[in-house]
Structures are given as structure tokens and as C-alpha cells.
Amino acid sequence: MIAREGRITVTDGRSVAFTDYGTPEDIAVVWCHGGPGSRVETEICAQGATRAGLRLIGIDRPGYGRSTSQAGRSIGGWVSDALAVVDHLGIDRFVTVGASTGGAYALALAANSRRVIGTVACCALTDMRWPEGPAMLSSALGVWTAPTRAAAMVIVAEQFGPRGEKISVHTTGEGITAADRSLFDNAGILAIWLRNIQEMFAQGVGGYTDDRLADGVGWGSFDVAAIRCPAIVLHGSSDTFLPVAMAHHTAALIPGATLQIVEGHGHFSILTEIPRALSQVLARATGAPAVVAQ
């Protein structure tokens, strides 16, 4: 599926890149990608979303893809980038969805803007101020405890390779679940994912490092309890990257949130459930029947 690519300049002079799937007549959805990730990730769900009348807009966070790096950024601080993109596109109200690391960014948007009419956090990393949380993501502990950003980048480069050369071991390698493997057995999905990998590390490991440093301190940069729109916390029962316990904790933090644990899905295969969840959260926001793409 062909996306319309765009790039804007925000007030501090940085570039923010995005992709836009759908038409102005469709309901806009801001997609907050995983970490590592990029705007290209959005295409995995683009066809199903379009059939459901949804317009997906993927945005590169700073340091990923074609967006300028921003050392020291916070989760809540990213909200202004996303709002600048939707303003550029002439969008008033919209839905947010975030995958994995991006879940917190989707929730931050919903917490900080009443223009958000619904939100979905999918396979999301939870608030790391939760005492039990850090031990569930042992791969990030070294980055979180590194004395400097430069030291953290050295750790990340060793883990993933300076340009992401080792990333396939962590995503499509032997350690993934059967459901995730089935997803990547689809040649079209795999092609999207390989393009996504290229964009993840197009600027090196800075984007991922800054993601981990931002989430390592927890969600103090936004107030998740301020969310007033319908919210769904979506997670696969077989997720081996982020335990289901994280979804339970996140759902407990969001007023009125619905927790949906989908049996058999892993960390990546659960992405295919996003169009359905978006349709459900929109139905709650608007009172209209849910439209589920076939």
C-alpha cells in the first residue's frame, strides 16, 4: 500500500517525518510506533484500517527514520510533535494508538489533548515507576542505569548493532512465538518489517536509546489519570517481550479503560488486532456501531 510521505519543521527547528494512509474523509488515527520502530510500521495495519474507514498517520519519533534527533526528550514532551503533524494535515479530532514503547506516547497524547476521542495501547510497556516493572524488561536495565547517554548508546549498539544489524535476532529469530512467526511468514508483512528495520536505525542507535531513557524514569511527564476518552489496553496472552502483567497495570491506571487479552497472540501478531480495537473504541466514543474490517 502506498503512503503519502511528509515532513514538517517544528518550532525548535527539528524535522518531523510522517506517513499518511487513507483520505480526509476517514477517521484519523495517530499511530505511535514501537521502540525501536518507525513510521513504516504503520503499514502492517493500513489495509485493514482503510477498509474500516480509518486513516492511519505514522510519525517518526526523534532520532528514528527521518525525524531529527532530540536528546533528553520525554514521553509527554513528544505530544507537541504529534499535534504539529495533525495541525499540518488539517485534522481536528483523532484517535491514538501505540504499539509496545509507543503505547505510552499514545496515552500521553490522550492525556494532554481533548482532541483525542479514543486511544488504544497495544502490547505496551507500562509506567516504570511501578516497582515490579523494571525487572520485567531486563534487556533495558543497562541502558536505564548507564551514567550518560553516550554510555547508554554503547550498550544499545552492542545489543542491536550500530545500524541495527542484529535486530532480526530479536524480532524474527528463533525466540519469537509461533503466532509471531506466522505473521512474518506472510511475505508482504515481512517486506514491510524489513523496510521498518531500515528506518529504525537510519540515524544509528540514538532514537532507541532516547526511547529507553525516556521510559526508564516512568510516566511523570504526563498524567495518565487525566485521560477522559474511551481507552482499550490490548495485549497478547503469549507476548514474550512484555508480560501480560504490564497490560493489567496499565489498564488500572487509566480511568474506565477496557483490558483485552487476546489468547494465542504474541508481541507482533497482536498488531493485526488493532483495526478491530480501534473500531471498538470509536464506537464507544461516537455511539455508532463498530465496523470491523474483514
Q: What is the pLDDT of residues 225-253, one digit of tens each?
A: 999 999 999 999 999 999 999 999 999 99
Over 70: is that where the pLDDT of 219 sits? Answer: yes
Q: What backbone phi and psi angles, to 5 degrees, belong to 203?
A: -110, 15
Grid coordinates belonging to 213: 531513557
Angle at 102 between CA 258 and CA 220, to 5 degrees: 85
Over 60: is that where the pLDDT of 169 sits? Answer: no
- Parallel, antiparallel, or unpaired for β 231-236 and 258-262? parallel
Contact between residue 167 and residue 161 where contact means Cβ atoms under 8 Å apart? yes
The band of 174, judged by pLDDT with boundaries at 50, 70 and 90, is low
Residues in the chain: 294
Q: Which residues contact 251 (CB under 8 A, 6 or more apart)?
A: 233, 257, 258, 259
Mean pLDDT of the chain: 94
Looking at residue 287, what is its pLDDT?
A: 82
Tens of pLDDT, residues 152-166: 999 999 999 998 888
Grid coordinates belonging to 215: 521510559
Domains and CATH numbers, the chain: 4-286 (3.40.50.1820)
Over 80: is that where the pLDDT of 57 sits? Answer: yes
Model pTM? Answer: 0.95
The label of the residue with cell 554503547 reads 154
Looking at residue 294, what is its pLDDT?
A: 42
User: Could you give the C-alpha distances from 77 to 12, 151, 243, 268, in angstroms and in order?
Assistant: 13, 23, 27, 27
The band of 109, judged by pLDDT with boundaries at 50, 70 and 90, is very high
Over 70: is that where the pLDDT of 291 sits? Answer: no
Contact between residue 129 and residue 242 where contact means Cβ atoms under 8 Å apart? no
Cα separation, 129 vs 133, in Å, equals 7
